[in-house]
A and B are shown apart, each in its own frame.
Chain A
Amino acid sequence: MKLENIVLTNANFEQQMQELRTKKNFDYLVTIVGEDFGEEGLGCIYILENTATNERTSVKMIADKVGNDFVIPTVCTLWKDANLLEREVFDFLGIKFLGHPDMRRLYLRSDFAGYPLRKDFKAQEGYSMDDEPQDDYTNEYYIDKEGKLAVKKNRLFTDDDFVVNIGPQHPSTHGVLRLQTILDGETVKKIYPHFGYIHRGIEKMCESYTYPQTLALTDRLDYLSAMMNRHALVGVIEEAMGVELTDRIQYIRTIMDELQRIDSHLLYLGCCAQDLGALTAFLYSMRDREHVLNCMEETTGGRLIQNYYRIGGVQDDIDPNFVKNVKALCTYLKPMVKEYTDVFGDNVITHNRFENVGVLSKEDAISYGVTGASGRASNWHNDVRKNHPYAMYGKVEFDEITATTCDSMARYYNRVEEIRQSIRIIEQLIDNIPAGDFYVKQKAIIKVPEGQWYFSTEGSRGEIGVYLDSRGDKSPYRLKFRPMGLNHVAAMDEMCRGLKVADVITVGAALDFVIPDIDR
């Protein structure tokens, strides 16, 4: 989608955002893109969606300069996910959000010098091997009577708080996530997530790569939605360039996306069980995941990092045995899915641990932007394949699986059902792959016309979006990936208040996030 930005200024920003939220019902804040616009200064682009009509709009706001600082009023009272999204923008660009109760860095170390995504950022040589300094206080910025920027200190922990770190090195956090948990006995009082332990600076690296080079890094973001990540990036570049793809390419991409989704959900089913202690169920699902990987590996050559799509098509045509193997896989998987529910899902212990744990109401799910099967468990119809169809999804029949109980059990069962729906999509497409080119030839040097685009696909965990700001060069000016998991972890704090420590792990397991996707 090409972004036609509504440009706001300091004078009308708060009032207009309020109107967009309440009167025009743009209740889902998709993402906040912080960008160094060059001569215009630093600013943000807010992408909003109206969940009732699925209409999307975008707002551009250039930060005001107060002394040496850049400021924008906060919107975290309107959309709850803005809390972490604004901290991310502060971390990378140094824009201070007025009125935000906890303006700290999110990804980088608290003593990191500089703001990486500014165009004049110079990386420092070397790094500190000391432990990161932890402060009990956080900053809240506001403009005082003289018009200068003032800071108020908010207290994060009192002296009586018992603070425990869950992670970064932890078998159940799905990566290197640090959850600083304040406990009262066994009950959780508050959770502060800390990210950045796998922040590799992909967005900054992409600004110095050519477009085909940027594709290489996408598979390493959420490696379990490798195909969908790449599909989002390739989709935004192709949409910006206006490339017409053949039907064969669309069919292959849809089938590969769905195979990747089955692969990811199988791993999820196993890891969910493993996090709760049932280690055997993990072996069951990984056994079947190997069958899916066999099918993909024959064509793409990779088990985890596939590197399959490219701008204008795919790397190579599908293997001659692909159709036969995928059909055999679908026949094999159908009874296996029932086995998972028999072994783990329908177990009374699983029900006791999952039911009514991690309840997130529909309004909260939309406000936090929890997309994917976790959001659909709260009865929010957020499937990008249905709302903003791409590839062949507009033309195949499949159900969007939602549930009304809003708890972890619903999230688990959603994904079991989604495996069945993925098999259904594949079976509709696998026999009818049309003949044609698998690659539409592009110029040797790919240049994207000027403008801003946003394209999203349905990844295994939610909506993966890519924002591209191009100035007509052969490298992107700004490339941002919308992480699926950031919203999930943002919602974890509210979901886990009053639950026991063991339930924090359950909620995290059922939500299903992957940390390299959040950290980028």
Chain B
Amino acid sequence: MFITVILTAAVLVVGAYVVAKLIGPRTYNPVKGQPFECGIPTRGSAWMPVSVGYYLFAILFLMFDIETVFLYPWAVVVKDFGAMALCSIGFFLLVLVFGLAYAWRKGALEWK
């Protein structure tokens, strides 16, 4: 069952890509390689010092995303393990909630 799911997913994705590459048109012109800025050529370099707010936002997102990744398999097996599973996930979440509360308190969730 699991193998069929994986195989179907792979076949569909690879198949769509291959068909598109075989029968799709392909034209090139210099403008297609340039960034789109509403029709005007860009000014200045893109390698600018980036504001640190973006970094904070990305780090926080990454952390809570990984937490969600751990929650999904837990949700699948929780019925089999009963109260023990609930306790351990509770501990895991508690630690992360402390982290969130700290970030919230320190103002990392606001844009500066």
A and B are interacting partners? yes
**Which of A162, A169, A170 is in CB contact (< 8 Å) with B44?**
A162
Which stretch from B19-27, B35-43, B78-86, B96-104 is at the chain A interface?
Answer: B35-43
Tell me what chain A mostly uses at the interface: helix, strand, loop, or mixed.
loop
Cα distance, A354 to B1, chains bound together (Å): 52
Contact A185 B40 (CB under 8 A): no
Say yes or no for A175: interface residue by CB 8 A criterion: no
B44 touches A168 (CB 8 A): no
* Chain A min CB distance to B51 (Å): 3
A contact residues around B44 at 8 Å (CB): 157, 159, 161-163
- In the complex, whether B53 has a CB less than 8 A from a CB of chain A is yes
Known A-B contacts A185-B54, A186-B51; A500 and B40 likewise in contact (beta carbons under 8 Å): no
How many angstroms from the CA of A500 to the CA of B112 in the assembled complex?
10
- Tell me, yes or no, whether A306 is within 8 Å of chain B by CB: no
Known A157-B44, A161-B44; judge A167-B38 contact (CB<8 A): yes
Interface residues on A, range: 20 to 34
A170 & B38 in contact (Cβ 8 Å cutoff):
yes
Closest chain B CB from A181 CB (angstroms): 11
Q: Is A178 an interface residue (CB 8 A)?
A: yes
C-alpha gap A165/B41 in the complex (Å):
9
Chain B: minimal CB distance from A410 (Å): 25
Select the residue from B40, B42, B54, B111 with max chain A CB neighbours within 10 A. B40
Contact indicator B53/A165 (Cβ below 8 Å): no
The yes or no answer to B48 lying at the interface (CB within 8 A) is yes
Q: Does A184 contact B (CB under 8 A)?
A: yes
Q: Are B38 and A166 in touch, CB under 8 angstroms?
A: yes
Contact status of A186 and B38, CB under 8 A, knowing A134-B43, A162-B48: no
Interface string of A166-205 (1 = CB under 8 A from B): 1111100000001000001110000000000000000000
The answer to whether A163 and B43 have CB atoms under 8 Å apart is yes
Whether A131 is near chain B, meaning CB under 8 Å from some CB there, is yes
Question: Which of chain B's residues have a CB closer than 8 A to the CB of A162?
Answer: 44, 48
Within 8 A of A (CB), among B34-80: 37-44, 48-51, 53-54
Q: Would you give the 0/1 interface string for A125-167, flagging 1 where the beta carbon is closer than 8 Å to chain B?
A: 0000001001000000000000000000000010111111111
**Chain A residues within an 8 Å CB radius of B39:** 168-169
Known A-B contacts A164-B37, A500-B111; A185 and B43 likewise in contact (beta carbons under 8 Å) = no
- Give the residue name and chain of the A residue nearest to B49 (CB): A160
Q: Report the minimal beta-carbon distance from B89 to chain A, rounded to whole angstroms.
A: 33
Cross-interface CB contact of A186 among B43, B48, B111, cutoff 8 Å: B111
Q: Which residue of B lies closest to A164 (CB)?
A: B37
Contact between A168 and B40, CB atoms less than 8 A apart: yes
Q: How far is the CB of A332 from chain B (nearest CB, A)?
A: 39
Q: How far is the CA of A41 from the CA of B78 in the complex (A)?
A: 89
- From B41, B50, B53, B111, A131 is in contact (CB under 8 Å) with B41
Query: With A134-B43, A185-B54, A500-B111 as given contacts, are A165 and B48 in contact (CB-CB < 8 Å)?
Result: no
- Contact yes or no, B51 A184, CB < 8 A: yes
- Minimal beta-carbon separation of B99 from chain A (angstroms): 24
- Which residues of B are in contact with A by a Cβ distance under 8 Å? 37-44, 48-51, 53-54, 111
Q: Which 8 A-B pairs have the closest CB atoms?
A: A185-B51, A165-B40, A169-B39, A165-B37, A163-B43, A169-B38, A162-B48, A165-B38
Residue pairs across A and B with Cβ atoms less than 8 A apart, 28 shown, are: A131-B40, A131-B41, A157-B43, A160-B49, A161-B44, A162-B44, A162-B48, A163-B44, A164-B37, A165-B37, A165-B38, A165-B40, A165-B42, A166-B38, A168-B39, A168-B40, A169-B38, A170-B38, A178-B38, A178-B40, A184-B51, A185-B50, A185-B53, A185-B54, A185-B111, A186-B51, A186-B111, A500-B111
